[in-house]
Amino acid sequence: MALAVLTDIEDASSDLTTAVLVDLTVFGGANPARSTLAAYLYLYKRDANQSDTPVTVDNSSPLTVTSWSFALAGDGWYRAIVFYFPIWTAGSYVANNCVYYNGAYYKANTSTSGTPGSSPDWTLITDILGTVLNLSSSNVTVGQTNNFTTAILEAGVLGDMLQDLGPNIRSGKCRDINQAANVLYGEGLLDSAWMNFERGDCVEAQEMVDYLTTNWAS
């Protein structure tokens, strides 16, 4: 059974400078155990033109990591590429098999039972994305996931207006239907952004976020 890689953005910080990408992949059972794999993440902020800006993450704990903190680069679409490398154990490997061993990643040049780092049959991988992403006959699980957040919008002016709308109506402070309609208009756009994302139209979702950010930023 192929490992289905799942991630989600959670836990934006109170000052909206950071958030956390959580690994929701199910391990064990028919899937490999997490203890047999080393995880490595590439994260990008993707815009509506599908251009990617790299986002720095900490890949120093590949054996135990279950989430990655990162600097928020705005609301909207984030693209994650997660690599799960088998941890090397003594045995036979074929050309293009890749493993994690003793703090580093290696690719087999040929069929081998040698030890990475000491056998010439293994090459140290210095560029995981360039080497492994489209590698034929690879034993590495690669998952590419789309992720979405509107944490900044929800904590900003639009979020404040939505929070105040109900109490203001209930207390009689909001008697202007146009004022209420404006707030609900923004909420509708926010909901539409999420619906487009959940239905797979990430470009439209990002465009909606861009519109909201421009018009409800202050």
Spatial separation of the C-alpha atoms in residues 65 and 199, rounded to whole Å = 29
| 14 and 111 together in one domain | yes
User: What angle separates helix 177-198 from helix 157-171, to the nearest 10 degrees?
Assistant: 130
List the strands of the sheet with 67-71, edge to edge. 7-10, 18-23, 67-71
| 75 and 143 together in one domain | yes
| 181 and 88 together in one domain | no
pLDDT of 50 over the 90 cut: yes
Q: What is the pLDDT of residue 37?
A: 98
Spatial separation of the C-alpha atoms in residues 77 and 203, rounded to whole Å = 8
Number of domains in the chain: 2
Residue 1 belongs to a domain? no
Please, which pLDDT band fits residue 3 given cuts at 50, 70 and 90?
Answer: confident
**Of 127, 148, 169, which closes a domain?**
148
Residue 2 belongs to a domain? no
Which domain covers residue 159, as residue numbers?
153-215
Q: Which residues contact 176 (CB under 8 A, 6 or more apart)?
A: none
| 143 and 174 together in one domain | no
Phi, psi of 97 (to 5 degrees): -65, 145
| 28 and 100 together in one domain | yes
Q: What is the pLDDT of residue 73?
A: 96
Q: Which residues contact 193 (CB under 8 A, 6 or more apart)?
A: 76, 148, 150, 205, 208, 209, 212
Rg value, the chain, Cα: 22
Question: What are the CA-CA distances from residue 34 to residues 4, 66, 140, 218 (Å)?
Answer: 13, 10, 13, 45
| 143 and 130 together in one domain | yes
| 98 and 162 together in one domain | no
For 102-134, write each residue's pLDDT tens digit.
Answer: 999 999 999 999 999 999 999 999 999 999 998
Q: pTM for the complete prediction? A: 0.90
Residue 186 belongs to a domain? yes
Indicate the range of 71-80, 167-176, 177-186, 189-198 predicted with least confidence.
Answer: 167-176
For 124-176, write each residue's pLDDT tens digit.
Answer: 999 999 999 989 878 999 999 999 999 988 887 776 666 665 565 556 655 55
| 133 and 188 together in one domain | no
Minimal CA–CA distance to 31: which of 66, 4, 7?
4
Q: What is the pLDDT of residue 141?
A: 95
Please, which pLDDT band fits residue 215 given cuts at 50, 70 and 90?
Answer: confident
> Which tokens hold the place of 207?
């465009």
Average the pLDDT over 42-65 and give the result.
98
**Of 101, 128, 148, which closes a domain?**
148
Q: Which amino acid is at 129?
A: L
| 100 and 171 together in one domain | no
> Which tokens hold the place of 54?
């790299």
| 127 and 165 together in one domain | no
| 50 and 116 together in one domain | yes
| 133 and 169 together in one domain | no
